[in-house]
């Protein structure tokens, strides 16, 4: 019943803002982590297997995410120190033990991930952002990401589309917590029922945004989501399907 009431409220209110997830919604990492880490390792004379490095990274990432979630901001860390710890642990598992070498690779990787060459903008992203703006909608970002996001969006040619960014590192809280969406709503300055959100994660994007009354859309590029509580009109196989859905809720 609550979900229906939220649906009714969202559909009746005129839409004014669209909030966006970024990674795997608007852009994605161009190569695997294993490949990118090995490429950086080669620059300092290390020859490692991308498969081994990828496996080590996944283990290190899980460990750090469990021990210090959201870049450890509540434990006195920041995005850079957190990611450098992940990188050091990744290469330590691959038998790299020199502390100076580990620090060098970790520092370089953290900064190199800001380069446009490491990211691929989906072919439907820019056109859809432009269409949303042409409808008179304002755009913002709500992303589980660190402070590098602003620079990444800039070098990828996307930053100018957004009035504001809310990253989990800077907000001090991550999706699916409703609190990060509350911060975004404060920036929007309109009721939740006048805001939509688009993302590729069922819990972090779709359910979390709808829990505060925002109209959530689930991007499902690869038809991998089969949750029965996501109506067909809330599920998008491409961003190109979004403007027509938003148009229905503007007036």
pLDDT at 111 over 80: yes
The CATH code of the domain that includes 170 is: 3.40.50.1000
What pLDDT is attached to residue 18?
98
Question: Does residue 5 lie in a domain region?
Answer: no
Domain's final residue, options 86, 118, 150: 118
143 and 51 within one domain: no
Domain's final residue, options 61, 91, 118: 118
177 and 126 within one domain: yes
pLDDT at 1 over 70: no
Tens digits of per-residue pLDDT, 4-37? 334 434 446 799 999 999 999 999 999 999 999 9
Q: For the chain, what is the mean pLDDT?
A: 94
162 and 98 within one domain: no
What pLDDT is attached to residue 250?
87
Question: Does residue 108 lie in a domain region?
Answer: yes
90 and 56 within one domain: yes
Give the pLDDT band of residue 2 (cuts 50, 70, 90).
very low
Q: What is the pTM of this model?
A: 0.92
**Average pLDDT of the residues in 161-180:** 98
SS (H, E, C) the chain: CHHHHHHHHHHHCCCCEEEECCECCCEEECCCHHHHHHHHHHCCCCCCCHHHHHHHHHHHHHHHHHHCCHHHHHHCCCHHHHHHHHHHHHHHHCCCCCHHHHHHHHHHHHHHCCCHHHEEECCCHHHHHHHHHHCCCEEEEEECCCCCHHHHHHHCCCHHHCCEEEEHHHHCCCCCCHHHHHHHHHHHCCCHHHEEEEECCHHHHHHHHHHCCCEEEEECCCCCCCCCCCCHHHEECCHHHHHHHHHCCCC
Question: Does residue 187 lie in a domain region?
Answer: yes
Question: The domain containing residue 98 runs over which residues?
Answer: 29-118
Question: Does residue 2 lie in a domain region?
Answer: no
Question: Does residue 10 lie in a domain region?
Answer: no
38 and 90 within one domain: yes
172 and 68 within one domain: no
232 and 144 within one domain: yes
Q: Is residue 134 within 8 Å of 161, Cβ to Cβ?
A: no
The CATH code of the domain that includes 50 is: 1.10.150.720
167 and 104 within one domain: no
223 and 182 within one domain: yes
What pLDDT is attached to residue 54?
97
Tens digits of per-residue pLDDT, 34-81? 999 999 999 999 999 999 999 999 999 999 999 999 999 999 999 999
Question: Does residue 11 lie in a domain region?
Answer: no
Give the chain's domain count: 2
109 and 132 within one domain: no
129 and 83 within one domain: no
Alpha-carbon gap, residue 211 to 14, rounded angstroms: 19
210 and 145 within one domain: yes
Question: Does residue 60 lie in a domain region?
Answer: yes
Question: Does residue 6 lie in a domain region?
Answer: no
Domain's final residue, options 69, 94, 118: 118
Alpha-carbon gap, residue 65 to 115, rounded angstroms: 24
């Amino acid at each position: 019943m609550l979900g229906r009431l939220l649906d009714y409220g969202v559909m009746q209110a005129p839409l004014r803002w669209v909030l966006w997830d970024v990674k795997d919604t608007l852009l994605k990492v161009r190569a695997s982590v294993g490949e990118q880490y090995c490429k950086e390792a080669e620059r300092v004379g290390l020859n490692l297997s991308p498969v081994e490095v990828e496996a080590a990274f996944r283990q290190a990432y899980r460990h750090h995410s469990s021990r210090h979630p959201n870049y450890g901001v509540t434990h006195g860390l920041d995005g850079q120190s957190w990611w450098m710890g992940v990188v050091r642990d990744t290469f330590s598992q691959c038998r790299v033990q020199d502390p100076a070498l580990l620090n060098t690779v970790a520092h370089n990787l953290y900064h190199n991930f800001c380069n446009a060459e490491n990211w691929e903008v989906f072919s439907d992203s820019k056109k859809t952002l432009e269409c949303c703006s042409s409808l008179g909608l304002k755009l913002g970002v709500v992303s589980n990401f660190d402070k590098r996001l602003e620079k990444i969006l800039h070098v990828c040619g996307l930053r100018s589309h957004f009035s504001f960014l809310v990253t989990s590192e800077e907000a001090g809280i991550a999706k699916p917590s409703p609190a990060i969406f509350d911060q975004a709503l404060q920036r929007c300055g309109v009721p939740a029922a006048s805001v939509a959100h688009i993302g590729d994660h069922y819990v972090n994007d779709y359910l979390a945004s709808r829990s505060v009354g925002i109209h959530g859309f689930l991007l499902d590029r690869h038809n991998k989501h089969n949750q029965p509580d996501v109506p067909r009109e809330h599920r998008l196989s491409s961003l190109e399907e979004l403007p027509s859905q938003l148009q229905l809720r503007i007036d």
